[in-house]
Amino acid sequence: MSVRAPVHQGRLKSPFYSRLKQLDTVNEWHEWKGYSSADVLYCAETEYFAIRNSTAVFDLTPMTKYRITGPDALDYLNRLVTRDMAKVRPGRVAYAVWCDDQGQVIDDGTIFHLREGEYRLCSQERHFAWLMAAAMGFDVTITHETEDVAALAVQGPTSFSVLDKMGFDGLERLKPFDLGHFDFQGSEIMISRTGFTGDLGYELWIDPAQAEALWDALFAAGELHGIRAIGTTALEISRIEAGYLAAYMEFLPADETVRTGRSRSPLELGLSWLVDFKKPNFNGRRALAEEKRNGSTWRLVKLDIEGNKPAHNSYIYGSANGRKGEIGFITSAVWSPVCKQNIAIGTVRMPHGKPGDNVWVEIYYQREMHWNRKMAKATVVDKPFWFPPRRGAKPPGPF
């Protein structure tokens, strides 16, 4: 044992760090699960429009990744998550949530069925202890592989063209939520047609040793397609436009909540389509069945809000004068540059918030030191704010 072990206080650097650093002009970084991650590299707006107009590249490496293998891998996952994983063939990706025994969401994530009986679970938060506890009685192996897999999101209308130019044969066959294994300079790369932007896009998964070569090849191929590296700020705008949930925004991992009633069930998050009661047993099933019978407390709403002042941290009311009291609050809000809409995701008490309902949002905004308050009317919408046809195009068109 070396006596003076290194100080464990420095942030981790992703295998793409050197390339991001080269492109970085503003030096705005934050910590993401121990890694240095860029908020912005040059200009958040320009970066955002790369997602919607050309190709945006985002370093996904800090996402938590687990490899799940073994004869019981499918049974294990089926008990873990609420949806039926038997329907997810090899080569497919599934969005899933998993709950504690009380039917409260611990986290959401994507599960990649890499090969027959071999899965990767990818989530925002870290869950090794829970995944191990859930493995009791199953013949599965769970390996933490966050640091062993470098990952990039390549998103935007020209993303297919860029990757196609790199020579990934058969990429055009990937439908949304498909994955494929390809060759990159003699080593294997996994590409999935997934993303967090609601646009046409892919995610690339590779051995960290190949990370810099992949980046260089990608940027060389994308030069004429407007490829840009982006930071978290731009991604977050597209995430809200696509109506995706984020841990610590739309919900808290149930096992980390201290106060009662601060966690959410999948039904309360608008994810009932992910809950398959036909499965005889999955974690949270008994509690969720009861909730389904008795009704939920909360409902997740997507809001189209009048005006142009983003409704950060706002209360939601059932009436314009707020006299009936607040019925909920906003969890994510942004001005959508592509929809030119003032959009938000929020949570309201049942029975409020049916699609088409009107609610009122109390917005505070500051102009030259002074604060202004506005009660803005909002409409509950049930579709994502941004869902371009190219996102689902089979095969994706060249741009």
The residues binding another protein (CB under 8 A) are: 1, 3-9, 11-12, 31, 33-34, 72, 75-76, 79-80, 100-102, 126-130, 132-134, 136-138, 144, 253, 255-260, 280-281, 283-286
Contact 107, 124 (CB under 8 A): yes
Q: How many CB atoms lie within 10 A of CB 224?
A: 12
Contact 50, 72 (CB under 8 A): no
User: Shortest distance, CB of residue 347 to another protein, whole angstroms?
Assistant: 19
User: Shortest distance, CB of residue 124 to another protein, whole angstroms?
Assistant: 13
Q: How many CB atoms lie within 10 A of CB 148?
A: 11
Q: CB under 8 Å, gap of 24 or more: what pairs does 115-119 form?
A: 115/90, 116/90, 117/69, 117/70, 117/71, 117/73, 117/74, 118/67, 118/68, 118/69, 118/73, 119/67, 119/68, 119/69, 119/73, 119/77
User: Shortest distance, CB of residue 225 to another protein, whole angstroms?
Assistant: 36
Residue 278 or 373 having the CB closest to another protein: 278
Contact 159, 143 (CB under 8 A): no
User: Shortest distance, CB of residue 117 to another protein, whole angstroms?
Assistant: 16
Residue 126 or 374 having the CB closest to another protein: 126
* Separation of alpha carbons 250 and 184, rounded Å: 37
User: Shortest distance, CB of residue 45 to another protein, whole angstroms?
Assistant: 29
DSSP state of 12: B
Contact 279, 285 (CB under 8 A): yes
* Separation of alpha carbons 245 and 342, rounded Å: 18
Residue 75 or 212 having the CB closest to another protein: 75
Helix (H), strand (E) at residue 18: helix 17-23
User: Shortest distance, CB of residue 346 to another protein, whole angstroms?
Assistant: 23
User: Shortest distance, CB of residue 44 to another protein, whole angstroms?
Assistant: 24
202 strand-pairing partners: 154
Residue 256 or 382 having the CB closest to another protein: 256
Residue 137 or 355 having the CB closest to another protein: 137
Residue 249 or 381 having the CB closest to another protein: 249
* Separation of alpha carbons 322 and 58, rounded Å: 41
Residue 63 or 163 having the CB closest to another protein: 63
User: Shortest distance, CB of residue 51 to another protein, whole angstroms?
Assistant: 28
User: Shortest distance, CB of residue 345 to another protein, whole angstroms?
Assistant: 24
Residue 140 or 163 having the CB closest to another protein: 140
b/e sequence 79-115, b meaning 16+ C-beta within 10 Å: bbbbbbbeebeebbbbbbbbbbeebbbbbbbbbbbbe
Residue 150 token pair = 């470098």
Contact 306, 362 (CB under 8 A): no
Residue 15 or 201 having the CB closest to another protein: 15
Residue 9 or 321 having the CB closest to another protein: 9
Residue 136 or 369 having the CB closest to another protein: 136
Angle at 284 between CA 282 and CA 290, to 5 degrees: 115
User: Shortest distance, CB of residue 36 to another protein, whole angstroms?
Assistant: 11
Task: Dihedral sign for Cα 312, 315, 320, 321, please.
Answer: negative
Say if strands 227-229 and 55-59 run parallel, antiparallel, or are unpaired.
parallel
User: Shortest distance, CB of residue 144 to another protein, whole angstroms?
Assistant: 5
Residue 337 token pair = 């540059």
